[in-house]
Each structure stands twice: as C-alpha cells, then as structure tokens.
Amino acid sequence: MEARAKRLKLAVLISGGGSNLQAMIDQAEAGRLHAQIVLVVSSNPEAYGLTRAQNHGIKTAVVDYGKYGRKNLPTITRSSLPDHFGDLVERQRIYSGLPAHRLEDRLARLVLAEQEIVGLLEPLNPDLVCLAGFMRLLSPFFIEHYCGEGTYRVMNIHPALLPAFPGSHGYEDTFSYGCRFGGITVHFVDEGEDTGPIIAQAVYPIWPEDTLDLVKKRGLELEYALYSQCIQWMAQGDLLVEKAEDGRPRVLILDPDYPRFMEQLTQQSFARNPI
C-alpha cells in the first residue's frame, strides 16, 4: 500500500449483481484499496449487490427509478424540479432525436431520481462516486454536483474499448461485431454518455471458438482488477486531469508502477486463454 494514499470516501451506485462492487470490497478489506465505502445506492430494489454490501456491514439505500416512471407518476410538477431545469435541458447530451416535450419529460424523471440520490450522498460528502453496473443515465444535474472545471468525482467502468461501443451492451456489441480483441475502459464521467476522459484501458483476445459468455468472463476479470486500481490511483493522488492541445481533457497517471501494472494485467489476460 502506498504510504501517501488517503482513505477515499466512496459512494457506489449499482443496479444489479454488484460483482464489481464485490471486487472493491475485497480489495479494500485486503488493504490494497485505500477506500471506505460509505454508501451503496441501487436503482433497483432487487439488486443482489445490496446483499453483497450488507454482508460486509456497508450502508445501503434504494432509489427506485420505477417510482418516477410514467406509469407511477403521470405528471410532473415544475416546482419539484430545480430552478435551473431549463439550463439542464439546454446542456444535456444524453438524449438525441427526441421532440422537445419528450426530451424534457425524460430528463425531468431522471432529475427527480437524482435529487433523491444527491440528498442521500450529500451528508456523507463522498470524495468519489463510482458507478458499478449502474444501468441508468446521469443528467447534468447529477454531474454538476460532483464535477467542476477540470474536476471529476464520478468514475465508471465500461465493458468495451471506448470510444468503440458506448451504451449498455459493450460485450455483446464487441462480440457480434467480430472483434479480435475486446477491452474495458475506466473513465471519469462527464455530461455525455460514455464520453468522459479515459483513465485506463485493458484488452483481452477473442479466439475463433469463443462464446459470448467466455468473452464476458475474460473482460470481467479485467474489470475487477483495473477498476480498483484506478480508484487506488485516485486515493494516492496519482490521477491528474490536464487540458490537451486539442482542448480535450486528458488523464495523466503519475504512479511510476503504472506501466508494470498494465503489463502484468495484459500478460495474465493473454496467458489464461491459450489458443
């Protein structure tokens, strides 16, 4: 463990099985991840990840997005939305091609759920919010709470090699496209969908006889190792976001062990899967 690492206060958002959450819990308990998970929030009341957290004495909460769906909430009152909702509509980049009234309705429902999440997180003041299999889009309302000029406090794991295959079917899209290599990406979250600055990526081979299940298994092993390591880099103060010449933010990893870590991870992911 790096001596200069501070203990990061993490909030983790999930929607399902929570195997990435489990990897974080295991790494933290083993002393390899200098972080304390202060709250796990699930968008789905049935998520098994909630049980995983509770098994380790971690506080959990559910923000049921279903509650804000059209069926349960046919109309939305303007007073339940933030004053600058109009500005959020202008800024948003997650929905495209929708007529204005539908876009506003969709965004409003997201914002209502996010207000509830922010309300739960606020008193805990997390250093970082990690999305771990969180299957909901985040609006600029949520992002502006945790990110500012050049500051990013929301991290995500994406099951493909971005910018290829954004969206929620990274493994399926990689496999059905016939890629020879698949990959995973840990990135900071910005106001777009899977467009935020890339922190680290790892690749695995896809052999002719492979099935989708095998591809997912291989990718998930990499997810578990790389996600925790990126959080640890943040705890160590080893992640720096700079503006590149083209104006895009670029993440620098200052840890001198970064190349060695990536080399080992890549060797493992190739060695485990001989032709």
The answer to whether residue 133 forms part of the interface with ligand GRF (CB under 6 A) is yes
The answer to whether residue 155 forms part of the interface with ligand GRF (CB under 6 A) is no
**What is the Cα–Cα distance from 73 to 162, expressed in whole angstroms?**
35
* Distances 105 to 10, 66, 114, 211 between C-alpha atoms, Å: 31, 15, 14, 40
**What is the Cα–Cα distance from 97 to 268, expressed in whole angstroms?**
43
Site track 157-196 with ligand GRF (rule: CB under 6 A), x = hit: xxx-------------------------------------
Question: Which of 12, 18, 33, 233 forms a contact with ligand GRF (CB under 6 A)?
Answer: 18
List, in sequence order, the alpha helices (H) in 30-188.
48-55, 85-91, 100-121, 140-146, 170-177
Smallest distance, Å, CB 19 to ligand GRF?
3
Tell me which DSSP letter residue 200 carries.
E
End-to-end CA distance of the chain: 36
Backbone angles phi, psi at 123, to 5 degrees: -65, -20
Of the pair 16, 197, the CB lying nearest ligand GRF is at 16
Smallest distance, Å, CB 46 to ligand GRF?
12
Known active-site residue 187: no
Amino acid at 198: I
The answer to whether residue 230 forms part of the interface with ligand GRF (CB under 6 A) is no
Coil vs helix vs strand at 160: coil
The answer to whether residue 201 forms part of the interface with ligand GRF (CB under 6 A) is no
Site track 91-130 with ligand GRF (rule: CB under 6 A), x = hit: ----------------------------------------
The answer to whether residue 249 forms part of the interface with ligand GRF (CB under 6 A) is no
Smallest distance, Å, CB 10 to ligand GRF?
14
Smallest distance, Å, CB 78 to ligand GRF?
33
* Distances 149 to 24, 86, 236, 241 between C-alpha atoms, Å: 28, 21, 21, 10
Judged by CB under 6 A, which stretch of 17-25, 30-38, 65-73, 104-112 contacts ligand GRF? 17-25
Q: What strands, in cross-sheet order, belong to the sheet with 181-188?
A: 60-62, 35-42, 8-14, 128-131, 154-158, 181-188, 198-205
The answer to whether residue 60 forms part of the interface with ligand GRF (CB under 6 A) is no
Residues of this chain that bind ligand GRF (CB under 6 A): 14, 16-20, 49, 132-133, 157-159, 220, 223
Please list the active-site residues: 158
